[in-house]
Structure 1
Amino acid sequence: MKTYLITLILGFISTLGFAHQPEVSSTVLAQKENNVWVLQISASLTAFQQEINIHYADTPYKTPEEFREMVIEHIKNKMNLKVNGAQLNFTNGAVHLGHETKVIFEVQELPEDLNFIEVTNTAFEDIYNSKSFLVVLKDGVDENKFVLSKDNGYHANLLLTGNKLVQNQESQASLFSWPLIAGIFGLLFIGLLVARFKSKQAA
């Protein structure tokens, strides 16, 4: 566990620059003692303010406490986590305001064995060119970092292979193959219609 404490500290240092970069955030899922897990979302205060102003425009906050409540609700609405196919819940949310603002939840009912992890975090999708660095910290699993961005729908599907988390290539293939197949059939259909139209004109 000492290794993970050091890693978390290093992660904290590495995200200090995010305070002035609203398009950059971090999403950290970390195991503590007794299989207790926490989820930490870190970003600049400006990034959180922009999102809250967009999604709660009809009910603007008046106090820091109201802002915290909106942030917690916003993250719960925009964050989705599945482990081994099971949907997980976030509890005991806390917001630590600052130039770099952190939102921390406890994650309930995480199994001991992590085979598949599916993460979606669209909390900052309204910010131009936003991206979130995803890190999973678990005893016995190598350090890792993945990027959630508009290009992948702010989504990562991870597979534990040995002591490494890797992108689930099979999932990615299935995600992109159906649109590709549909596009090919669409082009073929249009081609057939054009050919039929030309043949009628020739007749």
Structure 2
Amino acid sequence: MHYKIKKQWFFMLLMIITSFSSHAHQPDLSTAVLSKTDTGKFILQITSSLSAFEGEIDYLYSKAAYKTPEDFKELVTNHFNKNVFFIVNERDTLKFGKPLIILGHESKLIVEVLNIPKDIDAFYFKNTMFKDMPHNQMAMIMLVDGFPKAQYVLENTNEQTIQLQLEKGTWIAVEKTGLVIKKYSLIFFFLMLLMTPWFYVNYTDKKYFKI
């Protein structure tokens, strides 16, 4: 059974990689895959085109900020540390090891995710590494037991975040408080617009009655 699950994950991952490779020339597309090795280590791999990494680094630091590939990798590492956040169970902020960066037409950042607890019922992931690129999208998939198995997309419309809660064995998307407030504020605003004629008629009727 365990082998069957691993086999399914392998084919799923192969499909994602194949899909990404077919769009590798598009710098606005990237992937993030969380997996677990046979030795029990949790690995996060972020894959995108080299032009996507270069675009962000050049935009934030300028081309003059690096002269060698090692200089560039150091800037990518700093950028990763500032823009990737992983929180589980609403309280455990996970840490990362030292990233391994492989540069090429299809570039990768591979890093170990540390101190992941055994039981997880809430999941928050934020990756703003490519937020400055127009129309950017990052496909996120987790090939780990107990984690959500669906594929999620991080983009500017959801602030590059995934926030999920485990309810009765099913992972449910959590609506952000800010978005909830915004949504209900809009509803209240439109209700007030609809009620404006009623307030006006009611006011004029009272005024006429007093006269």
TM-score by length of 1: 0.81
1:142 Cα deviation after fit: 6.9
Alignment-derived partner of residue 162 in structure 2: 156
Tell me if the contact between 1:40 and 1:105 (Cα under 8 Å) persists in the aligned partners: yes
Match of 1:22 among 19, 22, 27: 27
Secondary structure of the residue that 1:92 maps to in structure 2?
coil
1:35 Cα deviation after fit: 3.3
Match of 2:183 among 175, 180, 184: 180
The 1:163/1:5 distance shift into structure 2, 3 A limit, reads farther
Superposition RMSD in Å: 3.0
Match of 2:75 among 28, 47, 70: 70
1:124 Cα deviation after fit: 0.5
Secondary structure of the residue that 1:180 maps to in structure 2?
helix
The 1:48/1:173 distance shift into structure 2, 3 A limit, reads closer
Alignment-derived partner of residue 208 in structure 2: none
Using the alignment, how far apart are the partners of 1:163 and 1:43 within structure 2? 32
Tell me if the contact between 2:35 and 2:44 (Cα under 8 Å) persists in the aligned partners: yes
Tell me if the contact between 2:120 and 2:146 (Cα under 8 Å) persists in the aligned partners: no
Alignment-derived partner of residue 126 in structure 2: 120
Using the alignment, how far apart are the partners of 2:159 and 2:48 within structure 1? 18
Using the alignment, how far apart are the partners of 2:175 and 2:59 within structure 1? 31
Q: Which AA in structure 1 matches 2:48?
A: A
Q: Where in structure 2 are the equivalents of 1:1-203 lying within 5 Å?
A: 3=6, 4-57=9-62, 60-85=65-90, 86-139=92-145, 143-160=149-166, 166-168=171-173, 171-172=174-175, 174-183=177-186, 188=192
Tell me if the contact between 1:83 and 1:117 (Cα under 8 Å) persists in the aligned partners: yes
Q: Which has the larger radius of gyration?
A: 2
Question: Structure 1 residue runs of 4+, over 6 Å off?
Answer: none
Aligned residue pairs, count: 194
Using the alignment, how far apart are the partners of 1:182 and 1:140 within structure 2? 36
The 1:148/1:98 distance shift into structure 2, 3 A limit, reads same
The 1:13/1:115 distance shift into structure 2, 3 A limit, reads same
Using the alignment, how far apart are the partners of 1:15 and 1:6 within structure 2? 14
Per-residue deviation, residues 93-140 of structure 1 (Å, max 9, x unmatched): 110111110001111100112211101111111111001001011136
Per-residue deviation, residues 157-182 of structure 1 (Å, max 9, x unmatched): 12345665x342xx216442211334
Tell me if the contact between 1:18 and 1:100 (Cα under 8 Å) persists in the aligned partners: no
Identity %, equivalent residues:
29
Contiguous gaps of at least 5 residues in structure 2: 205-211
